Structure 1
């Protein structure tokens, strides 16, 4: 099918040309092909050319971007196409937050690659768009994507850039936080903190080095007893369920809007409990308003709570209901009505101490799920122990040992003085009283019980951040060996998550969806007798709306014109 221009003569003898959409069909009677007109556009004037343009645009909607470029490149050789939209948006956000400007200022005076800032941006963009190793990242830059200001790079340049990133990390993190807070009017009245771990594809832990309580390598005499016996990559309680591999512990602070404001890295054996004190101290000199720290039950020690209250700060921390603590027992024993709040949540405040407030939260849907789970476990346990009275004491002891390795079942099992296995009815009754409930404690004297409950519920933003870091940004597993490179890798992942989260909160779309839509904006390269040039694909309405929401200009249509070499 093709377009043709057909001449016709008017009565006055003047020639007028008509546009027609036609194709050739075989005439079996004449035994030759003949032209069959599919559609007449009318006279070849400006109005009909506009209609033709609309038709072409409508047809090309059903083609891949590469096919569109190839179809419109008459007389030229279409040599390659690279995604452009993703890096274009990330680079615009990168410059808006002045990350590149800050890096150049902090790296000034060093003897380094003039493209160091561009290489670091490329590594961050790689984490956000096509996560891979540093070796694969350089190939990605050289062959698979367009990055303004960086035509190519090397593996060595990527590793050197990571080393420079570690040198400026502390000042860079503070400067980036300041820009994010100013440009986005960042709400830092609630600051959420949690930790995770990530593992390494190696069975060997690092050599033990003297470290301080921050996990930093120090002289032997400055090491603390708790940390000086382990390496950075060391075995610990893995949150990825990979206790067979060495790991490191990573912490992240997230603002109310889900923006990750800072990350930390510690040796893999580090326990969670004391880390929040270091985090608060590290952010002490940053320009922050009054802060309410929000953390889960792992940080609820009295020492942590006292530390978090310093400097007119407060906290909301989960309390373990099954810990048997005096506070949890007293709170659950208090009578009173629950107040209905949004998101299928009910709350009840109880007063136990003068300097702290306690809020019991109850979710009816969660209570139903807890009851069903317990019923399934009790049924399974009943089937396991049914008829065991007839077994020998040795056989019952063996079965008891097997059940003890299954915490869900073991919770509802009791052993009689005579060694018989029974369902623990008292424990079931106690658990029924805890269905769908969790207990919070706060030092803030003014927040309502509803705000306390909903504030703690937003701790899910940190969990979502970890999920995206591991699945979208591809934090794990880590293949670096040196400690400084591992820390740099975590920083690159944080910067990638920061840019992605800003794009998400601005547009209302998830990053995987944005990445898919933006990568359809591609840059095609054409070569012909007149030289080489690069042209981007047409911007669709949806892509234009995304760029408009982000307040980012569209990429130029023509990128590069290179005359032929003589």
Structure 2
């Protein structure tokens, strides 16, 4: 049974075609087959074609899906389906920031395969969509996802691309910063800086070698006493609470909207105190106009503050209330009324020095939490030291040693001259005066106290960045051993977080939510006698809205056509 189009000539000489449903029957007398018309659909026009489509749909619904597909297109076989939406969006943002364009330009000066830019994009997309090792990333590209311009890759290509990324990192980072600055109209703005650490599942630190102030290796013939001798993976104060394992220190500069504009890597034993000076120097020639640096209390040294003020830049830095410094003590002693600002925050400014402004911030909700936390700690400490007067001095000393390892409890412990353990009532009274408060200092003479307080509060964006870097982008575990590969891994994670943050900023949704919705845009592959073609699934309204917010076109419906070889 088949459809045929039969021409007929009208009286005026025009030819009209008619659609007929027919089949061949054997004529024993003539000993040949003849066409027998089963149904005549009439003249071949649009309405009759619609009727045919309804007929085909009605017939194929009685067939199995495979049989229906084969019936509609002879010999067509469904091969596979891969997620397309996530990589399509990331690639679109990659092109908007001209990262691919910059990489291709830098690629011309190096003897590398032309696909190196695509491989690096695939590694970045892997961190954002399905974080895995470089070995698993190659399998992900080959078997599990659709990436425009990269049908397949290899482990060696991934490692070569990472090595190339380190070579071009300085130029690439600057160009990406300017693209982000233009995208966000970053002229006079806040830049937040903070550090974290990531550890390695190995007991051995790297061999110590001479390094410059930026922590990069120095050739042996250029090493001098001015250079520090450190291993890259080395023991230090771990922010992951794993002091038993070697680590590296990572720094990140973030805009007020949470966009990470640059990342740094240092040996694991590097302290925070001097890092922000290097960060300021590295970005001296990058900034488009005046920048206000925002950092926490670990960077509050006088030398750091002086360095940050150069070049018409300013700072907002947290001050340790419990440091016992003369400035903190004097600021807290000043009388004055608090001014209510938004987000349940009260502020008051106190003048102590001519060249700096101090702002005391008070959050009533935080004060309640601090009081409850202290009450719980004091109750626990009271239980621990109850009836210890009857213990032998050596036993009390042992308990005193245990408590000293717990800063929260040790803060409220007092030891009498006779070695007895007591609750420090004076310390509790002093702590009550600090509940819900934090102290800021700034060199900016023009910012309002509200902007200073809320600007520092946005430092939480960096903490959110680190949390997402470690959980969503999956900074850990790091599978690499060589220093340059570790640095490249951090750069890949930064680029992935950058693209994810821009997507979040433009859509108002979290990256995990976006990733889930975009991965529902699939690319199906079909093959048949005529060749192979790929077709995406239909775009839903939520998906279309996301693409519109990101200013991206949807993927083409027919993605690829490959005729069969003859």
Which category of TM-score, normalised to the shorter sequence, fits these structures?
A: 0.7 to 0.9
**1:118 alignment counterpart:** 118
**1:152 alignment counterpart:** 152
**1:536 alignment counterpart:** 536
**2:302 alignment counterpart:** 302
**1:293 alignment counterpart:** 293
Matches within 5 A, 1:226-375: 228-375=228-375
1:41-75: CA deviation from partner (whole Å, max 9, x where unpaired): xxx978899999999xxx9xxxxxx99x9899865
**2:12 alignment counterpart:** none
> Considering only CA atoms, is the larger Rg found in Structure 1 or Structure 2?
2
**1:173 alignment counterpart:** 173
Instruction: Show structure 2 runs of 5+ residues with no match.
Output: 1-19, 21-46
Q: CA deviation at 1:529?
A: 2.3
**2:201 alignment counterpart:** 201
CA distance in 2 between counterparts of 1:247 and 1:227 reads: 21
Alpha-carbon contact 2:236-2:246 (below 8 Å) kept = yes
Q: CA deviation at 1:138?
A: 0.5
Secondary structure of 1:158's counterpart equals helix
Alpha-carbon distance change, 507 to 52 in structure 1, aligned in 2, over 3 angstroms: farther
CA distance in 2 between counterparts of 1:551 and 1:500 reads: 15
CA distance in 2 between counterparts of 1:234 and 1:536 reads: 48
Q: Does 2:475 correspond to 1:475?
A: yes
CA distance in 2 between counterparts of 1:241 and 1:70 reads: 58
CA distance in 1 between counterparts of 2:353 and 2:228 reads: 39
CA distance in 2 between counterparts of 1:565 and 1:518 reads: 34
Alpha-carbon contact 1:187-1:255 (below 8 Å) kept = no
Matches within 5 A, 1:131-142: 131-142=131-142
**2:40 alignment counterpart:** none
CA distance in 1 between counterparts of 2:176 and 2:358 reads: 36
CA distance in 2 between counterparts of 1:52 and 1:496 reads: 49
Alpha-carbon distance change, 149 to 385 in structure 1, aligned in 2, over 3 angstroms: same
Alpha-carbon contact 1:211-1:217 (below 8 Å) kept = yes
CA distance in 1 between counterparts of 2:71 and 2:312 reads: 65
**1:398 alignment counterpart:** 398
1:187-226: CA deviation from partner (whole Å, max 9, x where unpaired): 5511100011111121111111001111011145865768
Instruction: Show structure 1 runs of 5+ residues with no match.
Output: 1-16, 18-43, 60-65
Aligned length in residues:
516
Q: CA deviation at 1:184?
A: 3.0
Alpha-carbon contact 2:187-2:290 (below 8 Å) kept = no
Secondary structure of 1:312's counterpart equals coil
Alpha-carbon contact 2:377-2:409 (below 8 Å) kept = yes
1:323-364: CA deviation from partner (whole Å, max 9, x where unpaired): 000000000001111000000100010011111000000000
Alpha-carbon distance change, 529 to 308 in structure 1, aligned in 2, over 3 angstroms: same
CA distance in 2 between counterparts of 1:507 and 1:53 reads: 41
**2:184 alignment counterpart:** 184
Alpha-carbon contact 2:187-2:289 (below 8 Å) kept = no
Alpha-carbon distance change, 72 to 233 in structure 1, aligned in 2, over 3 angstroms: farther
Secondary structure of 1:136's counterpart equals helix
Alpha-carbon contact 2:314-2:443 (below 8 Å) kept = yes
Provide the TM-score with structure 2 as the length reference: 0.87
The RMSD of aligned alpha carbons is: 2.6
**2:33 alignment counterpart:** none
CA distance in 2 between counterparts of 1:54 and 1:468 reads: 48
